[in-house]
């Protein structure tokens, strides 16, 4: 996106009030531009010269660097920017630009020679009469040309602008294409005469101009504009002549835009004249120039006519998603510099005739008008309309993510039964009777007496039945256990647990400990010192199903969430497991 640098104080003066930076940023945000940087001219120079350590002085003029949309050429200078914001704020009406009424005979003329079609076929021109320049306006006038050249003109390939002091030259003018050696003139900032081919060589050393030479270099003819006395106005798109250079004292400005793209030439010319006609004696009035071709074609430029569009109100409200009364829509359109004439169609539908001013070349379609209305209405004021969508079941999705992580570090998932015998959750685990268990009233066999309160028996039974499986056996399960819960309507609740086991010629206690660390790592939990509640630590424990001295609690954010250890040999014996095992069980709901 192009960036425009404007003096803050001058901008605020033009806007008729001052803003805090925050207020101004907010205004920019709503309008669709962005305050990119706040700096000073001296700071920019310091930065260029790498003198950043130098202290800035108080009196430096603050410069706002403002990013503007790439299709809004009318915002590329202080004049256009402040005008757009004033209209947006409702301070100013939309200016009406007019082309001065002059008879064809007294109109300035630019005659285009057919040779130009070989290199740069189009030219459009205009005159600004009675302009009052001061240093600021003059600089802005030059800067706007630079920015247009950089952006829409695509570094002068599509369009090049020449501006001249009309009082130093005399029409009619001719736009020609001649052999380089036949073009001779004194270019801007030079004191001697050059031929065009000489000049091309000369500018190869010019940092600013050398990047434009390729546009015409190698062509047998170069484009050139002469006045009646054969004074060279310019050698587009490279340089203007020194003779017609504009100064602070210039009153009447002749503008010519030569181009390979006529549409863009007109946009560029319109941008130049609309922005600076505000400094003309007759404000917003531009004097036309007739462009004639040898083959008889001719047109008058600039074309400042309004582009008319018919917009049904319903189109705007449907596209934006708000209902707007017609008068309100018209106000919103006006804020964006679009004239709107309200009418009722034959079908009794409200409609607008929109007049797009010549400054708004970005408006191509009704959708552009709709966007402007939406901006003026406020993007963030548009009510949201939601689509039906579904949300995931947090616990289950989360369990799936953990399951994948455990599997990727080499543990195989097992899926065991919820139901088991009561001794499998008590005596077989060296534990007393589990008073928290849900008891089945009519089990068909002892295998279905209770609902598991731990994943341990299922996992141990799996190992007991896989004695022939090559060691080590590394398995895990993520599943629910059920425990009595007075707070629940039915008196019992599910709890999501994770269990893993290592079985081999050694118990693999350190491996299960490592798995605990890994689980904590993928939970993004740091390992902390005992007592610290910001992460997890391990604290030795004394649970009957584990071997004494080889077991520990896992403390997560100050809360015990699980235990791991070497399974007690008596428990292993109870489940008919001949090999040592280490086991971990964690309450994963605590991670949510």
Partner 1 sequence: MAEETVLGHLEHNQEIPDSGVFSQEKGINHDELVNVIKSLNGFGLVIAADIKREKWLLSDEAQSYVKYGSAEVLIFEAVPAEGTAKAKLQDIVKSKLPADLDDNTKSLIYDKGWAQAMKNKWIGLADSQVSQKVEHVEDRVKDLLIQIQNGEAVGAKDIDALKRRRLISLQIWKGYSVKKGPNYAPKRRKAVTDLVRDHLQRDEWKDIEFKEYNFLAKGQPTEGGCLHPLYKVKLQIQMIFLQMGFEEMPTNNYVESSFWNFDALFQPQQHPARDSHDTFFLKVPSTTNSLPEEYVERVKTVHESGGYGSRGYGYDWKREEANKNLLRTHTTAVSTRMLYALAQGPFTPKRYYSIDRVFRNEAVDRTHLAEFHQIEGLICDRGLSLGHLRGVLEDFFSRIGMSKLKFKPAYNPYTEPSMEIFSYHEGLKKWVEIGNSGMFRPEMLRPMGLPEDVQVIAWGLSLERPTMILYGIDNIRDLFGHKVDLSLTKRNPICRLGLN
Cβ at position 174, least distance to partner 1 in Å = 25
Cβ at position 83, least distance to partner 1 in Å = 18
Q: Which 330-359 residues touch partner 1, going by CB under 8 A?
A: none
Nearer to partner 1, 26 or 447 (CB): 26
Inter-residue contact 522 to 534 (CB < 8 Å): no
Cβ at position 275, least distance to partner 1 in Å = 19
Q: Does residue number 417 form part of the binding site for partner 1 (CB under 8 A)?
A: no
Cβ at position 391, least distance to partner 1 in Å = 7
Q: How many residues bind partner 1 (CB under 8 A)?
A: 89
On the CB side of 171, CA atoms within 13 Å amount to 22
Residue in 365, 435, 444, 487 binding partner 1, rule: CB under 8 A: 365
Nearer to partner 1, 181 or 560 (CB): 560
Q: Does residue number 463 form part of the binding site for partner 1 (CB under 8 A)?
A: no
Nearer to partner 1, 51 or 70 (CB): 70
> Of the listed pieces 127-135, 207-215, 219-227, 367-375, which binds partner 1 according to CB under 8 A?
367-375
Taking CB atoms within 8 Å and a gap of at least 24, the contacts of 342-348 are 345/312
Q: Does residue number 391 form part of the binding site for partner 1 (CB under 8 A)?
A: yes
Q: Does residue number 62 form part of the binding site for partner 1 (CB under 8 A)?
A: no
Cβ at position 48, least distance to partner 1 in Å = 20
Residue in 218, 296, 392, 470 binding partner 1, rule: CB under 8 A: 392
Q: Which 524-583 residues touch partner 1, going by CB under 8 A?
A: 524, 527, 529-530, 537-540, 547, 549-550, 552, 566, 569, 572, 578-580
Between CA 123 and CA 110 the distance in angstroms is 8
Residue in 23, 29, 134, 436 binding partner 1, rule: CB under 8 A: 29
Closest CA to 121 of 240, 289, 254, 236: 236
Residue in 512, 561, 571, 586 binding partner 1, rule: CB under 8 A: 512
Q: Which 117-156 residues touch partner 1, going by CB under 8 A?
A: 154
Name the token pair of 280.
């003309």
Residue in 98, 136, 344, 379 binding partner 1, rule: CB under 8 A: 379
Which residue, chain included where needed, has tokens 């073009």?
A: 183
Q: Does residue number 34 form part of the binding site for partner 1 (CB under 8 A)?
A: yes
Nearer to partner 1, 19 or 307 (CB): 307
CA distances from 267 to 71, 277, 357, 501 (A): 11, 15, 11, 75
Crossing angle for the helix pair 21-31 and 78-88, nearest 10 degrees? 80
Inter-residue contact 572 to 565 (CB < 8 Å): no
> Of the listed pieces 222-230, 345-353, 371-379, 426-434, which binds partner 1 according to CB under 8 A?
371-379
Nearer to partner 1, 127 or 336 (CB): 336
Q: Which 172-231 residues touch partner 1, going by CB under 8 A?
A: none
Between CA 199 and CA 237 the distance in angstroms is 13
Q: Does residue number 428 form part of the binding site for partner 1 (CB under 8 A)?
A: no
Q: Which 466-485 residues touch partner 1, going by CB under 8 A?
A: none
Q: Does residue number 375 form part of the binding site for partner 1 (CB under 8 A)?
A: yes
Between CA 432 and CA 336 the distance in angstroms is 80
> Of the listed pieces 84-92, 220-228, 230-238, 317-325, which binds partner 1 according to CB under 8 A?
317-325
441 DSSP 8-state letter: S
Q: Determine phi and psi for 242, rounding to 5 degrees.
A: -70, -30
Closest CA to 246 of 138, 132, 165, 134: 165
DSSP H or E stretch at residue 492: strand 492-503
DSSP H or E stretch at residue 173: strand 173-178
Q: Which 255-294 residues touch partner 1, going by CB under 8 A?
A: 261-264
CA distances from 395 to 195, 520, 522 (A): 81, 17, 16
Nearer to partner 1, 249 or 297 (CB): 297
Cβ at position 554, least distance to partner 1 in Å = 10
Q: Which 64-103 residues touch partner 1, going by CB under 8 A?
A: 69-72
Q: Does residue number 403 form part of the binding site for partner 1 (CB under 8 A)?
A: no
Gyration radius (Cα) of the chain, Å: 41
Residue in 37, 206, 303, 517 binding partner 1, rule: CB under 8 A: 517
Q: Which 157-176 residues touch partner 1, going by CB under 8 A?
A: 158
On the CB side of 450, CA atoms within 13 Å amount to 23
Q: Determine phi and psi for 462, rounding to 5 degrees.
A: -60, -45
Nearer to partner 1, 99 or 265 (CB): 265
* 337 conformational bin, left if phi > 0, alpha if psi -120 to 50, beta if neither: left
Q: Does residue number 515 form part of the binding site for partner 1 (CB under 8 A)?
A: yes
| Strands lying side by side in the sheet with 559-567 | 412-413, 473-484, 492-503, 581-587, 559-567, 546-556, 536-540
Cβ at position 360, least distance to partner 1 in Å = 11
Between CA 275 and CA 264 the distance in angstroms is 16
Residue in 128, 275, 374, 475 binding partner 1, rule: CB under 8 A: 374
**CB neighbours of 267 closer than 8 A, spacing ≥ 6?**
73, 152, 361
As a whole number of Å, the end-to-end CA separation of the chain is 43
Residue in 523, 557, 587, 590 binding partner 1, rule: CB under 8 A: 523
Q: Does residue number 319 form part of the binding site for partner 1 (CB under 8 A)?
A: yes
Q: How many CB atoms lie within 10 A of CB 548?
A: 13
Nearer to partner 1, 484 or 528 (CB): 528
Nearer to partner 1, 74 or 287 (CB): 74
On the CB side of 112, CA atoms within 13 Å amount to 26
Residue in 21, 98, 308, 408 binding partner 1, rule: CB under 8 A: 408
> Which residues are registered as beta bridge partners of 496?
480
Inter-residue contact 291 to 112 (CB < 8 Å): yes
């Amino acid at each position: 996106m192009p960036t425009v640098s404007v003096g803050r104080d001058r901008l605020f003066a033009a806007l008729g009030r001052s803003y805090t930076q925050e207020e101004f940023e907010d205004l920019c945000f709503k309008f669709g531009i962005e305050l990119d940087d706040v700096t000073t001219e001296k700071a920019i120079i310091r930065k260029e010269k790498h003198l950043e350590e130098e202290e800035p002085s108080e009196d430096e003029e603050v410069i706002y660097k403002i990013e503007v949309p790439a299709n809004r050429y009318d915002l590329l200078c202080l004049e256009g920017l402040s005008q757009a914001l004033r209209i947006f704020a409702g301070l100013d009406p939309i200016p009406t630009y007019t082309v001065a009424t002059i008879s064809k005979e007294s109109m300035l003329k630019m005659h285009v020679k057919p040779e130009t079609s070989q290199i740069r076929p189009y030219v459009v021109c205009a005159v600004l009469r009675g302009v009052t320049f001061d240093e600021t306006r003059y600089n802005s006038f030059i800067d706007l040309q630079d920015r247009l050249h950089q952006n829409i003109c695509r570094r002068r390939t599509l369009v090049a602008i020449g501006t001249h002091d009309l009082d130093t030259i005399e029409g009619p003018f001719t736009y020609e294409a001649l052999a380089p050696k036949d073009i001779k003139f004194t270019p801007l900032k030079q004191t001697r005469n050059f031929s065009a081919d000489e000049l091309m060589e000369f500018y190869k050393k010019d940092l600013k101009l050398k990047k434009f030479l390729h546009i015409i270099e190698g062509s047998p003819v170069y484009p050139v504009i002469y006045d009646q006395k054969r004074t060279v106005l310019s050698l587009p798109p490279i340089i203007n002549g020194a003779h017609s250079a504009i100064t602070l004292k210039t009153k009447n400005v002749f503008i010519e835009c030569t181009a390979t793209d006529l549409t863009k030439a007109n946009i560029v010319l319109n941008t130049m004249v609309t922005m600076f006609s505000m400094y003309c004696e007759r404000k917003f009035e531009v004097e036309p120039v007739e462009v004639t071709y040898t083959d008889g074609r001719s047109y008058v430029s600039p074309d400042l006519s309004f582009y008319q569009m018919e917009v049904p109100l319903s189109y705007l409200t449907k596209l934006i998603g708000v209902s707007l009364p017609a008068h309100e829509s018209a106000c919103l359109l006006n804020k964006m510099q679009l004239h709107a004439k309200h009418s009722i169609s034959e079908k009794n539908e409200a409609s607008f005739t929109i007049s797009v001013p010549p400054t708004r070349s970005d408006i191509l379609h009704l959708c552009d008008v709709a966007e402007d209305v939406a901006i003026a209405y406020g993007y963030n004021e548009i009510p949201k309309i939601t689509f039906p969508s579904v949300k995931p079941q947090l616990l289950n999705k989360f369990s799936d993510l953990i399951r994948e992580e455990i599997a990727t570090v080499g543990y195989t998932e097992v899926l065991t039964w919820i139901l088991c015998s009561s001794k499998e959750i008590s005596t077989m685990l060296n534990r007393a009777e589990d008073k928290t268990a849900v008891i089945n009233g009519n089990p068909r066999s002892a295998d279905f007496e209770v609902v598991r309160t731990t994943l341990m028996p299922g996992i141990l039974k799996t190992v007991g039945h896989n004695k022939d499986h090559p060691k080590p056996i590394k398995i895990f399960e993520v599943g629910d256990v059920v425990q009595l819960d007075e707070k629940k309507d039915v008196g019992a609740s599910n709890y999501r647990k994770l269990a893993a086991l290592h079985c081999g010629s050694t118990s693999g206690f350190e491996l299960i400990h490592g798995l605990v660390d890994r689980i904590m790592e993928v939970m993004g939990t740091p390992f902390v010192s005992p007592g610290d509640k910001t992460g997890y630590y391990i604290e030795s424990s004394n649970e009957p199903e584990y071997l004494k001295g080889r077991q520990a609690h896992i403390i997560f954010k100050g809360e015990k969430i699980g235990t791991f250890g070497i399974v007690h040999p008596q428990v292993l014996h109870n489940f008919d497991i001949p090999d040592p095992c280490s086991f971990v069980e964690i309450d994963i709901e605590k991670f949510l």
